[in-house]
Structure 1
Amino acid sequence: MARRSIRWLVPALLVLAWLAVGGGLGPFAGKLSEVATNDQAAFLPESAEATRVLEVQEKFRQGDTQPVIVIWTSGGAAVTPEQTAAATKALAALRGTSGVVGAPSPAFASDDEKALQGIVQLSPDISSGGLGDVLDRIREAVPVEGLTTQLGGPAATRADLGDAFSGIDGLLLGVALITVLVILLAVYRSVLLPLAIISGAVFALGLACAVVYFLADRDIVRVDGQVQGILSILVIGAATDYALLLTARFREELAAGRDRFAAGRIALRRSIEPIVASAATVALGLLALLLSSLTNNRALGPVGAIGIACAALSALTFLPATLVLLGRAALWPAKPRPADAGAGGIWGRVATLIDRRPRLVWAASVLPLAALALFAPQLNARGVPLEETFVNDAPSVAAQAALSEHFPGGSGQPAVIVAPEDRAADVTERAKAVDGVFEAAPVSESGRPGGAAKVVDGKVLIEATLRDEPDSDAAKDTVKRLRDSLHSEGGVLVGGYSAQQLDTTDTAKKDTLLIVPVVLVIILLILIVLLRSLAMPVLLVATVALNFLATLGVSTLVFEHLFGFTGSDASVPLYGFVFLVALGVDYNIFLMSRVREETELHGAREGVLRGLVSTGGVITSAGVVLAATFAALVVIPLTFLVQTAFIVAFGVLLDTLVVRSLLVPALVRDLGGRAWWPSRLGRAHESRPAAEPSPAQRH
C-alpha cells in the first residue's frame, strides 16, 4: 500500500512543483521588456572602427546623445523667411525641456528651398517607452503654419522599433499558443492531452523568462526585442516537440496493454536519450553564437540555451508526471494505438516505396534540393535599407524619405571622422574630395560643424555629410573610400551611422564563416555519441546542410520576387543556419534513435522501415508545430524577424516532409549495414533475406 502511494506521490509532487513555477514565475514572461534594450548602438561589434569612433565621441559628449531630425516640407512652394524664423524659434524653445540636451540647431533650408531641417539632441537615458512621449512633445511644439512636420533620425527610428516590439509579450505568445493548440487538437483528437502539452510549454517559458530576467537585470546577459521574441517561440516550439515524442511512446505502451505507471516509466526511459541529445544539439549550437563579435548574437546564445534547457526539463518531468496521473484519460476520446498502427496508412506506403526503390527515392529527393541550393549564394545579405526595416509604414521611414528628397541623403547622420588636431584641416579637405561626400567640416564647441574646432585629448571630430542615404550600399561604399583615403593619415578613424552599418555587416559575415563549421562539428560529435557510429552522423549532417542551402535558395527567390525585399540583414543567414540546422537535426535524432532501437532487434533493413512507420506521424506533427510557432514571429513587423521566420518555418517543413521522410530513410535503406559503420549493429542481421516483407507489406 505504501509503495502504491509513493507511485502516485512522486508524479503528484512534480505536477505541484511545476504549478508553483507557473504561478510564481509565469509573470516574468511579461516583464522581460523591463530589462530589454532596443538601442542598436549597444549591439555594435566591440573591436570595429565605428565602435572606436563612438568611444572618442563620448569624450566630446556627442556619443551621449541621440539626435532627432525635424523636417518641415512645403508641398511644392518655396519656404518663406517667416516660416524659417518660426521653425528656428520653435526649436530654440525646446532647450531645457525634459529629455532635450543642449541647444537645438537653427532651422535651415534645403537647396531647392522647399524644406527646412533642424536637429534636436536627446538624452540617451530616456527609456524606450518614455522616448515616444518626448517625441510627441517635440512634434506638438514645432509645427509651422503652411508646412508639414515630420520627425526622423536615430531617436525616431528607435521609437518606431520600440513600437514594433510593444505588446509582443501577449500577442506573440497568444498567437503561438493558439496555433499549437489548434494543431494538437487536430492531430490527437483529444481534449486533455493538448492542454497538458501546452501547459508544460508555458511553464517552461515562465521558468526560462525568470532565469533570463534575473541575469539581464544584473547585466550578465543582454536582451532586446528580437531576442525576447525568439525566446518565446523557441521554448514553445521545442517544449512541444519534446512532448510529442514522449507522448507518442506513452501512447504506444498503453496500446501494448501496460498500466499507466509502466507506460510512463518506459516512455521516459525510451525518450530521455533522444530528447537530451536533441536539446544538447540546439543549446550548444546556440552557445556557439558566443563566438560572435556582435553583442546581440552573443546575447541570443545563452538566452536561447536557457530556454531549450527549460523546455527539455519540463518535457522530462512535468509531462510524464501529468500523463501518469491522467492515464488513458489523457487521450480521451481517442484510443491508444500500437507502434505500427500507421503501417497500413500513409507511412506504411512511404516505407514500402522506400523499401522497393530506395535509390530512386533518394535521387529524386537530392536533385531538386541541390537545384534550389544553387540560388543560395545569390542572397543579398548586405543589410536592409531603412525603408524596408519595418514591414508596415513607420513615421521615421517617411521622414527619412522626405529628408532624402530635399537634402543630401546623409543629412542628420553624417560620417564622423576622428583626426589629430594638427592635421584636421588637411583631413577635412581630403574628405571633401572623396566621391560621395557632400560636405565636411570640424565640429565646434557648440557641437555643430563650422567655426573653431573643439579639441579633446589632441583630437578633433569632423562630420562628413554623405550624398546618399546613410543606410544605402552607396553610403557604405563612400565610407570605404573615406577610410582608404584617410587611413594613410596616422590616427584617423571613420565612424558614424553608415560606418556602423558597414562594420556590422562585415562582422556578421566573418561570424558566419567562423560559427557555421563550429556548429556542424558540435552536431556531428553529439550524433556520434548518440548513434555509436561515424557514417550515420556524417550522412545526417550532410542532409541537414543540404536542406539549409536549399531553404536559403528558396528564400532568395521568395524575398526578392514575392516579398519585394531588396536585401537581408547580414545576420539572417547565420540565425537561419543555427536554428534550422540544429532543429533539423532534432527530427533526425528522433527518427534515427528509433531506427537504431529497431535495428538492434530486426536488422538494418527492417530497422529503418519500422522506425519510419513508428515515428512518421509524430515527427511530422512536431515539424508542423515548430514551423507554425516560428511563423508566428511575423506578428512583429520587422523585416529581420519576418525573414528569419520564413527561413526556419519553410526549412523545417522541407526537412520534415522531404529530408527526414524520404531522403534519409532511402539513403539508410540503400546503404544497409554500411550506414552504421564502424558499429557491428548493421552487420548483425545482414544475412536476413532481402525478400522479407516490410512492416507495411505485412499489413
Structure 2
Amino acid sequence: MLLSRKLAALPAGRYAKWAVLLVWIALVMVAVPNAGRLADVVEDKSAAELPRGAQSTRVEELTPRFPGGEMAPGLVAYVRDGGITAADRARVQADRRALAPVADGPIAPPAASRDGRALMLHIPLSDGETLSPKAEKIRDQVEKNAPPGLQIRLTGPAGSALDVGDAFQKIDKLLLIITMVLVTAVLLFTYRSPLLWLLPLANAAISLQVTSAVVYLLAKHAGLYVADGMSSILNALVFGITTDYALLLLARYREELRRHPDRHEAMRIALHRAATPIIASAATVCLGLLCLLAAKMGFNYALGPIGAIGVLGGLIVVMSLLPAMLVIFGRWIFWPRIPRYGDTPPVHGGVWDRIGRRVAAHPRLIWIGGMAVLAGLSAGALGINTGLDREHFLTTTPSSTIGERLLNAHYPGDQTRPLQVVTDASGTDSITSALRNVPGVARVEKPQPSADGRLTRTEVVLSAPTDSQAAKDAVKRIRDTVPQATVGAGAASELDLADAQAHDRRVVIPLVLGVVLLILMALLRALVAPLLVIATVVASYFAALGGGWLIFHYVFDFPALDTQVALMGFLFMVALGVDYNLFLLSRVREEVELASHRTGVLRGLGLTGGVISSAGLVLAATFGVLGVMPITMMVQIGVLVALGVLLDTFLVRSIIVPALALDVGRRFWWPGRLGTRPPAHAQTREPVHH
C-alpha cells in the first residue's frame, strides 16, 4: 500500500512531474510515426474474420494449396435491356484484352446469359494487398466511355472489397475530426474555461497515438490481427474512456485544491482517492473486452486485446501525464473559475442536489417508475429482425451491389459468391455427382486439383441468393450429403458466421456479467449493491436495444440488425455503463463511512452528478460519431451504445440506482460492514453539490 501511494504521488512531485513530462514527450515522439502506419497492417483477408474452427475457415486456409492461391475475382456485368449488340460484344472483348495485364491469370471469354441481355467477364485476382488497387484499375477501365444504354458494373469479391475500402478511406479522418469537435464542445460546456478543456483533449489524443503505435507494433511483429473498421471503434473507445477518466480526476483535484494550499499535495490526495474507481473502471472494461478471447468470430476475438490495449493506454496517460501537466500549469488553468484554498462550494440548490432530494422523497415509486420506462423501451426489441444481408452492408447502395443484382437477374443462381467444396482427390467423381443431385444446387463447376494433387476444389452455384435462408438450408443439405467434404465460401460462410455469433452471445455475455459482478463486489465489499447495479445495467441494455431498433427501423430504414451488433452493444454498454455506477457508488460508500446512509447516498450523488453526466455526454458523443459512417454495422453499434450510455447516465445512474439504494437502506451494503451497522465515526453531514 505504501509503495502504491508513492508511485501514485510521482506525477505530483515537485521535481518528478518534470521527469514524467519528459518521459511522455519521448514516448510521443516514438509513438506518432508508428501510429501513422496502423493502416498498413489492417488485414483485408476474410479468413481471419471467419469463425475459428469452422468449415468455411478451413476452406480459406486450404486455398493457398490450389493454383492461383487465395482468389477474390472481379465479375464485370454488361447488361443492355434491349439485348446485347455486336458493338457491346466488341467492347467486352476490348476490355478483356486491356485487363489482361491486371489479372492474376488468364481471363476466360465472356459468358452470355440465356436471355441474350447480359455478358459476364470473370477476372481472376489474388486476395492480398494488390486486390484493391487492381480492382480500382478494372473499374476505371470498364466504366470509361461506356456506350449509351449499356450498364457496366464491377461486382464479386473484388468489387465488394473496393467499395468497402472506399467507404473507410473517405470517413476515417472525418470521424476523428468530428469526435474532437464534439468532445471539445462538451468540455467547454462543462468547464466554461478557454484553457482547461485542452488538457483532457490533448491526453485523449496522446492515448490514441500511443495505443495505435502499440497495436501497429504488435500486428507487425507479433501477428496481432487488425480488421477493417477496428480503428474506428478504437478511436471512439480511447477518446471516450480517456476523457471520462480525465474528468473524474479533474473533479477530485478541484475539490482538493479548495482544501489544501499546496497544489502538489492536493494532486497527491486527489490521485490517491480517484485511483480506486478509475482503476476499477479500467479493470472492468479491460476484463470485459478480454472475455472476447472466448469468442469464435475472428473480429470479436481480435477486438478483445486491441480494446484492452486502448483502455490501458487511456488509464496510464490519465494517471501519469495529466496529473503532471495539471500541477505544472497550476491553479490558473481553471480560469476563470479558479478553485482557491479555503473556498466552500455552494451547499444547497444545485441540480443534482435537487434531483437527489426529490428521489429521496419517494424512492420506491421513483425506481419502479424508472424500471417501467426501461421495460417500455425494451418492448421495442420484440420486433427485431437480425441478420443483415450484404446488400445492406453499406448505408448507401454501392456499385458492386448494383452489379450483383444485374447478374442475379440474368443468370441462374448467385454468380458472385459460389460455394467452394474441398475434398480428397480420390473421391472427386462420386462427390461431384452427389453435389449435382442436392436440392438447391444450380450448377457444379469442373473440379480443380491442388498443386500436390491430393485435394480437389469444386465451385458450386446455388439457385437461391447467398444471404437467404434457402441458401443456408442448401449448405446444410450439402454437408449432410457429402460429410467427408469441407464446404466454405458464399452461403457456407454466412451460415458459419451466424452460428459463431450465436455461440459468442451464449458464452461471452455470461462471462462479462460474471467479471463485472466480481469487480463490483470487490470494490463495494457488498453483494446486494452489485446485484442491483447489474440488474439495472442489463435493463438499460435491453431498453437501448428496443429503442435503438425503433430508430433503425423507422428512421434509418434498416431491414435488420447486424448479427454482430447485439454482442458489441452489450459489451460496450455493460462494461462502460458500470463505469458510472462505479464512480457513483465508490463515492457514496466513502460518504456513508462519514455519515448516515441516506446522507451518504445524497451527498455522493451531488458530488459526482456533474462530472459523471459530462463523462456520459462525452462517451455518447464519441460512439455516436460512428453514426455518420457508411458501414451499417458501425452505425448500429454507434447509435445503440450512445443511446444506452445516455439512458444509463441520466436515468439509471442518476435516478434508479440512488432510489434503490435509499429504498433498500443500509442493507444495500450487505453483507459488508456498512450493511450490518453504521460506522462508529459516522457523523451527519448535509449533501452538497459541486
Letter of the structure 2 residue corresponding to residue 372 of structure 1? L
CA contact (8 A) 2:594 2:679 kept: no
1:397 equivalenced with 2:393 (yes/no):
no
Gaps of 5+ in 2: 1-8
State the distance in 2 between where 1:682 and 1:340 align.
30
Letter of the structure 2 residue corresponding to residue 42 of structure 1? A
Letter of the structure 2 residue corresponding to residue 26 of structure 1? V
State the distance in 1 between where 2:18 and 2:466 align.
60
Q: Which residue of 2 aligns with 1:670?
A: 663
State the distance in 2 between where 1:533 and 1:5 align.
33
Q: Structure 1, residues 109-167: CA drift from partner, whole Å, max 9, x if none?
A: 22222111111011223346534543345536896676232100101111111112215
More deviation, 188-197/38-47: 38-47
1:24 equivalenced with 2:23 (yes/no):
no
Q: Structure 1, residues 311-359: CA drift from partner, whole Å, max 9, x if none?
A: 0111111111122122221210124397864741221111111111000
Letter of the structure 1 residue corresponding to residue 303 of structure 2? L
Q: Which residue of 2 aligns with 1:103?
A: 106
Letter of the structure 2 residue corresponding to residue 677 of structure 1? W
Q: Which residue of 1 aligns with 2:355?
A: 350
- Counterparts of 1:206-605 in structure 2 under 5 Å? 206-256=209-259, 258-336=261-339, 341=346, 343-376=348-381, 378-382=383-387, 384-421=388-425, 423-443=427-447, 457=453, 459-487=455-483, 491-605=484-598
Letter of the structure 2 residue corresponding to residue 406 of structure 1? H
1:695 equivalenced with 2:670 (yes/no):
no
Alpha-carbon deviation of 1:416? Answer: 2.0
Alpha-carbon deviation of 1:375? Answer: 3.9
Q: Aligned-pair RMSD on alpha carbons?
A: 2.8
Q: Which residue of 2 aligns with 1:448?
A: none
The residue matched to 1:205 in structure 2 has which SS?
Answer: helix
Letter of the structure 2 residue corresponding to residue 242 of structure 1? Y
State the distance in 1 between where 2:161 and 2:11 align.
58
Q: Which residue of 1 aligns with 2:51?
A: 45
More deviation, 423-432/568-577: 423-432
Seen in structure 2, the aligned counterparts of structure 1 residues 30 and 474 have a Cα distance that, compared at 3 Å, is farther
CA contact (8 A) 1:18 1:203 kept: no
> Which of the numbers 611, 627, 634 marks the counterpart of 1:618?
611
The residue matched to 1:151 in structure 2 has which SS?
Answer: strand
CA contact (8 A) 1:352 1:694 kept: no
Q: Structure 1, residues 216-258: CA drift from partner, whole Å, max 9, x if none?
A: 1114311123111111111111000000001011111223454
Alpha-carbon deviation of 1:263? Answer: 1.8
> Which of the numbers 65, 72, 82 marks the counterpart of 1:66?
72
The residue matched to 1:464 in structure 2 has which SS?
Answer: strand
> Which of the numbers 81, 92, 96 marks the counterpart of 1:91?
96
Q: Structure 1, residues 514-567: CA drift from partner, whole Å, max 9, x if none?
A: 011111111111111111111111111121111112111222222222211122
The residue matched to 1:416 in structure 2 has which SS?
Answer: strand
More deviation, 48-57/137-146: 137-146
CA contact (8 A) 2:143 2:152 kept: no
Letter of the structure 1 residue corresponding to residue 157 of structure 2? P
State the distance in 2 between where 1:82 and 1:327 align.
77
State the distance in 2 between where 1:234 and 1:473 align.
35
CA contact (8 A) 1:598 1:607 kept: yes
Letter of the structure 2 residue corresponding to residue 68 of structure 1? G
Q: Structure 1, residues 366-402: CA drift from partner, whole Å, max 9, x if none?
A: 11212333443543332x2222111123221221122
Letter of the structure 2 residue corresponding to residue 314 of structure 1? V
Letter of the structure 1 residue corresponding to residue 586 of structure 2? S
The residue matched to 1:470 in structure 2 has which SS?
Answer: coil
Letter of the structure 2 residue corresponding to residue 466 of structure 1? L
CA contact (8 A) 1:26 1:206 kept: yes
Alpha-carbon deviation of 1:471? Answer: 2.8
State the distance in 1 between where 2:145 and 2:461 align.
24
1:175 equivalenced with 2:197 (yes/no):
no
CA contact (8 A) 2:528 2:669 kept: yes
CA contact (8 A) 2:396 2:630 kept: yes
CA contact (8 A) 1:403 1:409 kept: no
State the distance in 2 between where 1:686 and 1:13 align.
42
Q: Structure 1, residues 456-499: CA drift from partner, whole Å, max 9, x if none?
A: 64543332212233233432233223333433xxx123222211
The residue matched to 2:677 in structure 1 has which SS?
Answer: helix
Q: Which residue of 2 aligns with 1:640?
A: 633
State the distance in 1 between where 2:62 and 2:612 align.
54
State the distance in 2 between where 1:458 and 1:141 align.
44
CA contact (8 A) 2:419 2:488 kept: yes
Q: Structure 1, residues 260-284: CA drift from partner, whole Å, max 9, x if none?
A: 1222112111100100000010011
Seen in structure 2, the aligned counterparts of structure 1 residues 25 and 129 have a Cα distance that, compared at 3 Å, is farther
The residue matched to 2:204 in structure 1 has which SS?
Answer: helix
Q: Which residue of 2 aligns with 1:449?
A: none
CA contact (8 A) 1:128 1:162 kept: no
- Counterparts of 1:137-216 in structure 2 under 5 Å? 138-139=141-142, 147-166=150-169, 168-216=171-219
The residue matched to 1:442 in structure 2 has which SS?
Answer: coil
Q: Structure 1, residues 411-431: CA drift from partner, whole Å, max 9, x if none?
A: 132122234556544444443
State the distance in 1 between where 2:10 and 2:460 align.
79
Letter of the structure 2 residue corresponding to residue 470 of structure 1? T
The TM-score normalised by the length of structure 1 is 0.91
State the distance in 1 between where 2:252 and 2:425 align.
73
CA contact (8 A) 2:541 2:574 kept: yes
The TM-score normalised by the length of structure 2 is 0.92
